[in-house]
Amino acid sequence: MTRRTVLRKAFIGPWDPLVDQAILYAMADAQRATGVAIHDSVRVVSHMHTNGTPSEDNLPDFTRRFHRDVSCALHTLLCARKYDAPRELFDDRPTHLMRLVDAEAQASHGIYEVLNPVAAGLVKHPDDMPMQRVDYKLWKKGYIDIERPPFYFESSRPKVLRLHVTPPPLLYEAFGGDLDKLVYHLEKLEKDGLAALHREMKRPFMGAQAVRRIHPWSEPRTLREPGGQRVPCFRIGASGILGREARIEASREVTYFRHGYEASRVGRRDGDHERRFPYGTYGFRVYHGAPIEEEPPLDAIISAPGLTLDEVKERLARERPDTENVRERSHALLAAVRDAVRAESSEIVEDSILDLTEPTIVSPRGAHDEEGKAAEASASTAAEDARAPVVVRHRFDKRRDAAARRIITLRDRRRGRPPTGGTGTHGSDPPG
């Protein structure tokens, strides 16, 4: 599940310690209401990735509750810290949902999400990211306790919520239910992937201190993803002929589903309310009461319900898989994921970089002292330099930079520099 902020602003970055607490509490509350199992989650300043497994068709309800609370809570926090509020925290694109079909896909995507802050150029090591990690390192403990933030969330909600964190079912099954072995090998995959990313990085990392100082209205200087491209709805990590055949069959299934869905939609529009939608249709069934097929196709891959962790544990206890077969399966999985991360490391860096580390022209808010006058003179000189055509300025700065190719306005309701002590925990403005 992937969701991006409006205009890719850094609203979910660590500009305030309460941002992390609000996001995790909202996630735990949505899990409490829907029962969706959470496997990992990472926030990368302007977007967030979350992996989970629904126990029933409750995933849309989970994303609605989770993202609504995050949006409202951070909107409230922005106002409390005297930043301008964006009205809508997330952009108008719906939550991107992608089915991780096999254990290889669950492992490789989990490693990608752990390394995402590194690939984005924010920190040199995932542990340096100044936000709570929700990933495989919590699977042994199994939970995080989060206190209710002192804003937005009403007192009727629990004072402390427990966010349960569990391994992905198919990945857990591939290792025969040996959680210690699974976590150990994922740590090795993380180290190997980290080394591959470091070899591809051509620019310095920001570092944890600079990440904390990112203004919430900052945005990447890279272009938004171009439209009109295919958006994947599933991922198959298996390699070789088996993986290729599975991708072909899954693509065919998605095509048939979309054609059947469109035909049913048009028929319902024309008055045929008895025509059934394909199995897996959610919106028309829940909001319009439309009938759907009772079972998925016999050879379904994408629309067929997946296994939950409890079902995997029951099957392992019942079948007791051979130790040698589990060892061969897990070693083949690890080799495939390791090779994929190494081969794709350059593409991962190119696609993930947020371009927040490039030099920019920072227009000060005003010359209140000698330091401000010096900064103003420096910014004016830099404005004439064609090598730095991006201008970052405060909303109260009335000057116009004719040489600027792009202007990023940092919006808040404060004049002068924000306090650095007491309650001024929200960082610097503009960012240092």
Measured CA to CA, the distance from residue 86 to residue 29 in angstroms comes to 24
Measured CA to CA, the distance from residue 301 to residue 259 in angstroms comes to 17
Q: Are residues 95 and 177 in the same domain?
A: yes
Measured CA to CA, the distance from residue 200 to residue 347 in angstroms comes to 9
What was the pLDDT predicted at 411? 80
Q: Give the pLDDT band (50/70/90) at residue 426.
A: very low
Q: Are residues 160 and 181 in the same domain?
A: yes
CA angle 109, 12, 132 (to 5 degrees): 60
Q: Are residues 414 and 347 in the same domain?
A: no
Q: Is residue 26 part of a domain?
A: yes
- Full domain range(s) for residue 91: 2-233+334-352
The mean-pLDDT minimum among 95-109, 158-172, 237-251, 357-371 falls in 357-371
At 302 the three-state DSSP class reads coil
Q: CA-based diameter of the chain, in Å?
A: 76
Q: Is residue 245 part of a domain?
A: no
Quick one: average pLDDT of 312-316?
Answer: 92
Before 430, cis peptide (omega within 30)? Answer: yes
Amino acid found at 322: D
Q: Are residues 56 and 17 in the same domain?
A: yes
b/e sequence 318-345, b meaning 16+ C-beta within 10 Å: eeeeeeeebeebbeebbebbbebbeeeb
Q: Are residues 344 and 409 in the same domain?
A: no
Is the Cβ–Cβ distance between 49 and 180 less than 8 Å?
no
Given a cut of 50, whether residue 422 has pLDDT beyond it is no
At 262 the three-state DSSP class reads helix
Q: Is residue 118 part of a domain?
A: yes
Amino acid found at 414: R
Q: Are residues 64 and 44 in the same domain?
A: yes
Q: Share the mean pLDDT of the chain.
A: 83
Q: Give the pLDDT band (50/70/90) at residue 227.
A: low
Q: Is residue 29 part of a domain?
A: yes
pLDDT in tens, 120-151: 889 999 999 998 889 999 999 999 999 999 99
Q: Is residue 303 part of a domain?
A: no
Over its C-alpha atoms, the chain yields an Rg (Å, rounded) of 24
Q: Are residues 346 and 392 in the same domain?
A: no
Cα 139 off chain centre by: 19
More confident residue, 401 or 124: 124
The mean-pLDDT minimum among 8-22, 334-348, 415-429 falls in 415-429
pLDDT in tens, 110-126: 999 999 999 988 999 99
Instruction: Enter the pTM of the model.
Output: 0.84
What was the pLDDT predicted at 326? 85
Q: Is residue 329 part of a domain?
A: no
Q: Give the pLDDT band (50/70/90) at residue 205.
A: confident
Amino acid found at 183: V
Percent of the chain with pLDDT strictly greater than 70: 82
Is the Cβ–Cβ distance between 65 and 30 less than 8 Å?
yes
Residue where one domain finishes, among candidates 285, 318, 352 = 352
Residue where one domain finishes, among candidates 326, 352, 378 = 352
Q: Are residues 229 and 363 in the same domain?
A: no
Q: Could you say which DSSP state residue 49 is in?
A: E
Q: Are residues 378 and 430 in the same domain?
A: yes
Measured CA to CA, the distance from residue 245 to residue 225 in angstroms comes to 29
pLDDT in tens, 237-296: 888 888 889 999 999 999 999 999 999 999 999 999 999 999 989 989 998 999 999 999
What was the pLDDT predicted at 26? 97
Beta-bridged to residue 83, according to DSSP, are: 412
Residue where one domain finishes, among candidates 352, 387, 420 = 352
> Which of 231, 212, 222, 233 minimizes the C-alpha distance to 7?
222
Q: Is residue 30 part of a domain?
A: yes
A 10 A CB-CB count for 278 gives 20
Q: Are residues 380 and 344 in the same domain?
A: no
Measured CA to CA, the distance from residue 375 to residue 392 in angstroms comes to 13
Q: Are residues 131 and 190 in the same domain?
A: yes
Is the Cβ–Cβ distance between 70 and 295 less than 8 Å?
no
Q: Is residue 76 part of a domain?
A: yes
> Which of 190, 127, 140 minimizes the C-alpha distance to 166?
140
Q: Could you say which DSSP state residue 90 is in?
A: B
pLDDT in tens, 347-392: 888 777 776 644 444 444 443 343 334 434 433 443 344 344 566 7
Count of domains observed in the chain: 2
Q: Are residues 221 and 363 in the same domain?
A: no
- Which bin fits 314, alpha (ψ -120 to 50), beta or left (φ > 0)? alpha
